[in-house]
Amino acid sequence: MVSGIPGNSQRLKYHNIRSSLADGLCFYSHNQGITLKTPTEYIPGAARYPRILVYHEISRTFHLGINNVSPRDFHAHLDFLQKAQLSILPLRGFSERNPDNSIALTFDDGYDSFYDQVFPTLIERQIPATLFIITDFAGKRNSWDVTFGINRRDHLSWEQIQEIAASGISIGSHTSTHRHLTLLDAETAKLEIVDSKKMIEDQIGTEVTALALPYGSASTDIFIVARKAGYQEICGGVPGYYGPVGGILPRLPVYRGDNAKTLRRKLDWRVPEIARLKALQSCSQLTRLIQK
């Protein structure tokens, strides 16, 4: 052991270890259902980890990458969550309530497959969710994404988004163009955050309080801009990947091939699963580099 007061690097190392231990709290079940322990520590300070899952696309069509989940697997995921007696709550105010045995569902990018493959299922099962829209691409193809010309997809139209919002599903912003906000100048980043919020509000006629940061890219300045714009739920990506910045809600991505077993690991904040998610999210840097 090293005696004396540790230096900054040592303190950060020790804090990382404590946070990893908090992340690895046990997951256990009872006859009545599954009980989830809530981690209580997160660099750089104390916070409660809400359990928020994020999907990108639910589709029967093969797409490049791992973001696409088949409808069959998506239904199996919902079956698992409901069988486990996990309460699926709205994102709005979720981090304040955040009771044990509760989760929130979010969907990024706003692909038009949501309308056929997700929307009817959420209504039928009466499951609340938040859908994050890239406003400049509503009704357009996903030219912002890297697909190497393979299976370009369309985004939801404003008419579809309005119908989804009228049903009670929350609509949030995924910015205007899905660019990496921390790589933009301050004014451009602000416009991405502010203009997209106004656009959605003008289209659906209700206040928008949720923002999903593209690639989970976060900074204190981005957080302050978003708060001043009126966002209450500011969502990032995999915990610890870009910071973290206090007040930004980490989320657990669900990918192709995930099943009940891997969902358990995500919801339990198992350290190996979080490490796997961080490694997978690093693949998104390819899109960021090509966008530059």
For the chain, the average pLDDT equals 79
How many angstroms from the chain centroid is the CA of residue 90? 13
Whether residue 3 is contained in a domain is answered as no
Cβ-contact 117, 59 below 8 angstroms: yes
Whether residue 164 is contained in a domain is answered as yes
The pLDDT-based confidence of 235 (bands split at 50, 70, 90) is: very high
Residue type, 138: A
Q: What is the pLDDT of residues 99-155, one digit of tens each?
A: 678 999 999 999 999 999 999 999 999 999 999 999 999 999 887 776 556 667 899
Residue 7 reports pLDDT greater than 90:
no
d(CA 214, CA 281): 12
Cβ-contact 244, 218 below 8 angstroms: yes
DSSP letters, 136-151, are GGTTSB-TTS--TTSS
Domain that holds residue 124: 8-291
Which among 148, 281, 119 has a CA at the least distance from the CA of 216? 281
Angle at 19 between CA 18 and CA 21, to 5 degrees: 65
The helix (run of H) or strand (run of E) holding residue 104 is strand 102-107
Cβ-contact 90, 104 below 8 angstroms: yes
Render the burial of 215-225: b for 16+ CB within 10 Å, e for the rest: bbbbbeebbeb
- The pLDDT, as a whole number, for residue 228 is 95
Q: Specify the residue for token string 């709005």.
A: 92
Whether residue 1 is contained in a domain is answered as no
Q: What is the pLDDT of residues 159-187, one digit of tens each?
A: 999 999 999 999 999 999 999 999 999 99
- The pLDDT, as a whole number, for residue 289 is 54
d(CA 165, CA 204): 7
Which among 167, 176, 180 has a CA at the least distance from the CA of 140? 176
Residue 15 reports pLDDT greater than 90:
no
- The pLDDT, as a whole number, for residue 248 is 87
CA distances for 291 relative to 135, 178, 202, 284, angstroms: 17, 10, 28, 11
Q: What domain count does the chain have?
A: 1
Cβ-contact 234, 213 below 8 angstroms: yes
Which among 63, 22, 21, 65 has a CA at the least distance from the CA of 40? 22
Q: What is the pLDDT of residues 221-230, one digit of tens each?
A: 999 999 999 9
H helix intervals, the chain: 8-23, 71-83, 94-97, 113-117, 119-125, 158-166, 186-204, 220-229, 260-267, 271-281, 285-291
The pLDDT-based confidence of 198 (bands split at 50, 70, 90) is: very high
Instruction: Please state the φ and ψ torsions of residue 150, each to the nearest 5 degrees.
Output: -100, 120
Instruction: State pTM to two decimals.
Output: 0.80
The CATH number of whichever domain residue 186 belongs to comes to: 3.20.20.370
